[in-house]
């Protein structure tokens, strides 16, 4: 679903050429036109950004048509993208270094940036395009190293935010952690995967020692078609996530029920405590309990092993025990609201 953005009253940022004088004739540069403008979402907020172009004011300059622009403005994002470069890097880091899913990345970023799961997939494509820009030279440098290692070990990963949408497929060499191919594909049948992802790598002439991927049938068939004699193993992490999915879904339902049950009582308790006199010695203590309970309701889950619902139960049990000890000492019956 497309997320509506309110572009009214956004802070404006103007970027001008760092050069003040023409490098050819040393005359003063004069503002010529706005080269581009865009609404840019960053980790620090949203801005309306303008990049101003300058030309030499000297009609006799040997380069009168040269346009001078802000180099800083050009590093804010990539062409055709409305998210800052730091958002692109953050998405890539979360996916490829921390191994988080698109849904998990969305859950982490949506509190800071207005973004959808589909847009996260697009940012991953931008990230991989930036990475791949220097890959041809890197692959040429690594060829001798791979030959010493006996060949390539490939990892194939497919990411699709929702059914019916294009998917991003990435092939990496895991021994030296290099992205070899990255494509957004409208269809994901095994012939398409073989043609666009695997056969270009086979054409390099390097041996392949093995392949790791999830259990997607089209990937399995594509690998069998291109490298029929090479070992192909399912990724243990993907298998664990799939095996743990029923427990994760049950835990998520538990967490939802707990939040629904506790939020109303939490608000009433906070109001009752805030109504106490500021000189009441128990007021700051009770407010700390309220903050702890609010923190407990924000516990996140990370499949397959970090189950937020169970963590909430554990923290609530500790909170209940602490309140019980405090009540035994006397004086906090007012929090029963």
Whole-number pLDDT of residue 224: 92
Give Cα separations from 119 to 40, 74, 125 (angstroms).
Answer: 14, 21, 10
**Domain 134-243, what fold?**
Nucleotidyltransferase; domain 5 (3.30.420)
Residue bearing the bigger pLDDT, 234 or 46: 46
Strands 152-159 and 167-173: antiparallel
Domain ranges of the chain: 12-76, 83-131, 134-243, 244-336
Question: Vertex 165, ends 198 and 245: CA angle to 5°?
Answer: 85
Whole-number pLDDT of residue 243: 63
Q: Assess whether pLDDT exceeds 50 at residue 337.
A: no
Would you tell me how many other CB atoms lie within 10 Å of the CB of residue 81? 19
Whole-number pLDDT of residue 87: 93
Handedness of CA 137, 141, 143, 145 (dihedral sign): negative
Q: What's this model's pTM, rounded to 2 decimal places?
A: 0.52
As a whole number of angstroms, the distance between CA 245 and CA 208 comes to: 32
- The arithmetic mean of pLDDT across residues 13-24, rounded, is 90
As a whole number of angstroms, the distance between CA 309 and CA 139 comes to: 45
pLDDT tens, residue by residue, 81-117: 999 988 998 998 888 778 788 888 998 898 889 998 8
> Which stretch of DSSP H or E encloses residue 308?
helix 308-329
């Amino acid at each position: 679903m497309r997320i509506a953005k309110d572009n009214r009253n956004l802070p404006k940022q103007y970027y001008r050429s760092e050069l003040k004088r023409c490098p050819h004739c040393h005359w003063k540069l004069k503002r010529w036109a706005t080269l581009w403008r865009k609404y840019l979402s960053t980790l620090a907020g949203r801005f309306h950004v303008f990049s101003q172009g300058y030309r030499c004011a000297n009609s006799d300059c040997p380069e009168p048509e040269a346009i001078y622009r802000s180099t800083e403005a050009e590093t804010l994002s990539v062409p055709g993208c409305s998210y800052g470069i730091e958002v692109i890097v953050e998405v890539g880091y979360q996916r490829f270094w921390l191994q988080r899913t698109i849904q998990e990345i969305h859950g982490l970023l949506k509190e800071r940036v207005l973004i959808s799961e589909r847009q996260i997939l697009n940012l991953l494509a931008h990230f991989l395009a930036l990475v791949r820009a220097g890959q041809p030279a890197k692959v040429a440098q690594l060829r001798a190293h791979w030959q010493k290692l006996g060949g390539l070990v490939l990892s194939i990963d497919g990411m699709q935010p929702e059914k019916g949408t294009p998917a991003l497929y990435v092939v990496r060499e895991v021994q030296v952690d290099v992205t070899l191919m990255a494509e957004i594909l409208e269809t994901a049948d095994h012939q398409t995967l073989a043609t666009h992802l695997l056969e270009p790598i086979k054409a390099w002439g390097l041996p392949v020692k093995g392949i790791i991927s999830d259990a997607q049938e089209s990937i399995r068939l594509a690998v069998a078609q291109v490298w029929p004699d090479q070992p192909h193993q399912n990724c243990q992490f993907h298998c664990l996530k799939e095996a743990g999915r029923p427990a994760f879904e049950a835990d998520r339902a538990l967490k939802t029920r707990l939040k629904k049950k506790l939020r109303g009582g939490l608000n009433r308790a906070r109001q009752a405590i805030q109504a106490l006199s500021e000189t009441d010695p128990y007021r700051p203590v009770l407010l700390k309990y309220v903050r702890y309970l609010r923190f407990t309701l924000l516990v996140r889950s990370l499949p397959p092993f970090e189950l937020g619902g169970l963590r909430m139960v554990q923290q609530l049990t500790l909170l209940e025990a602490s309140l019980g000890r405090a009540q035994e000492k006397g004086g906090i019956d007012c929090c029963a609201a």
